[in-house]
Structure 1
Amino acid sequence: MAIANITVISHRLFYLLGIPGLENHHIWISVPFLISYIIAFLGNSLLIFIVATDHSLHEPMYIFLCMLAGVDICLSNITVPKALAIFWYNSGGISLYGCITQLFFIHSTFVAESGILLVMAFDRYVAICYPLRYTMVLTPSVIIKTSVAVFLRSVVTIFPIIFLLTRLTFCKNNLLPHTYCEHIGLAKCACASIQVNIWYGIFVLLITVVLDIILIVASYCMILHAIFHIPSQDARHKALHTCGSHICVIFLFYIPGIFTFLVQRFGKHISPHVHILMANVCMLAPPVMNPIIYGIKTKQIKSRVSYLLFQRPR
């Protein structure tokens, strides 16, 4: 009955179905979602707290890490609570503007995280290739301008999607087979052509994520070239270690996304619920794993966490 009522006002109300085909398992699926959400929120909040309260960590690398943690908290809060509401209470109803708002923040935080990873790659490039000029290049003014540019780019590139969606008339099926709203998924419910939406989505992907990947790869090519020309083996090992956490986070963020993109485009024979589960992994994995990776692989953070939890340095 609820779905029938929604159909009458499909241009105003949509219904997120969660993971179609696995409705009977929604309660069990909600368990890893809930655990991931708690770990992501606590882990990233702890990371921000440690950097904010420890003056020895007030360096560019840790400031960018704080930005990454903040974006991860936002991404978790945007996606997981609604997914849990669907799993627990079958509460998938969402207004058109609510759906557009959610997808705007999801896409913009995703672009912002990609931009932060690029800035962190630049930070490692300067630290390893030009160590004596590190503090002169990454001044507080440069850090602030870079941070503003990252978030401004994410908003400016995603903001037109709001107008591309609000111009459409929605008269088709208003059931969205997903746990969250996303641009093309919502656009497919429209009566008119969505070619502009599709091409703009590709354009945004190319000038943000794809461009970031190219620049990150270029940065690490120069970083590795510099590292392997260091005569001291201990110095080479130390330089590689400082990049280890960032490289892990890069792979964790981009590889699942690229794999999901390829599967969605070429894996037509794969069940829809597999696509949805993989898309959720892309959203959940970075916020959960990023603080764990930096907590394990960064000595200063690991020591500070150990002191806070056990009141003894490690």
Structure 2
Amino acid sequence: MAFSFRQLEVVRAVSRHGSVTMAAMALGISQPAVSMMLRECSAQAGFPLFRRQQGRLQPTAETGALLTDLERVFEGVERINRLIEEMRDISVGSVRVAVTPALTEGLLPRAVARLLHSRPGIQVAIDSLDILGVTEMVTQERVDFGLVLAPIGHADARLLPLYGGTLVAVVAPDHPLAGRPHVTPADLAPHPLISFSRVHPLGELIEGCFQAAGVKRRIAIEVNQSSVACAMVRAGAGVAVIDPFLLSEPRGHGVACLPLRPGVPVNALALVPRQRRLSRPAQLLLASLRRLAAGRRDAPGSMGDGRG
């Protein structure tokens, strides 16, 4: 005979509090009711669930083996209740996002600001991690979704395209290349190159671009964030090829941004847990990102075509 949800609540409460009296108070029911349900549970299980030690009820080894799965049951129930609450009132709730550093600037801050302007009761948490960390957080369902740059290796998650652009070169405003309408890998080769390792998604794309042009990519300064590459360029340390998303906002970045030819597509993706339905706040944030990206594509000087 299967345990009822109420019986599971009783077993969990007694395990937590070590006392029938405290469990009854926590559940808001009478002490005799808890005692009766414990007897019923033990009879149904066919073995004792608790033993009294030093004045407290301690779970038996058999009960201890069940507690981890029991906690998962109640975590699932709490998640369902949160979803129901969010569905009832989309002006409250929370959303947690894991994002690679390349995408922490640009559209994400504007999307968050737009969401909070229309839904000030929603709480947003952002974790900036490398691509492996983002993938792990998503597959373990510790965040609502992740934001990464393609290409990405195998991930046990749904991949949702968000927005795209092409790689761009950045140089100091007074650099000899700054006045060019576009540049090629051959144009960049004579200058100190600030770039990413091949294990980084951007590094893989840039390496492929240089190889296709028959130019050896010699890295003078290795970085792992586009913002760091731009800081190095501003300081006059060299030239760089980065994603277009950092420079997508119409503000001064202190660098000249040049289209790279031939164009190399780069895409931002959302990683969503495969077995988990997106909460309403997460859906709203994704929708805000997509609307902003669509607006940038439609505007003059869209991603990858502007000057910094």
Normalised by the length of structure 2, the TM-score is 0.21
Q: 1 or 2, which has the higher strand percentage?
A: 2
Pick the structure with more helix per residue. 1
Bigger RCO of structures 1 and 2 (CA < 8 A, at least 6 apart): 1
Superposition TM-score, scaled by structure 1 size: 0.21
Q: Which has the larger radius of gyration?
A: 2
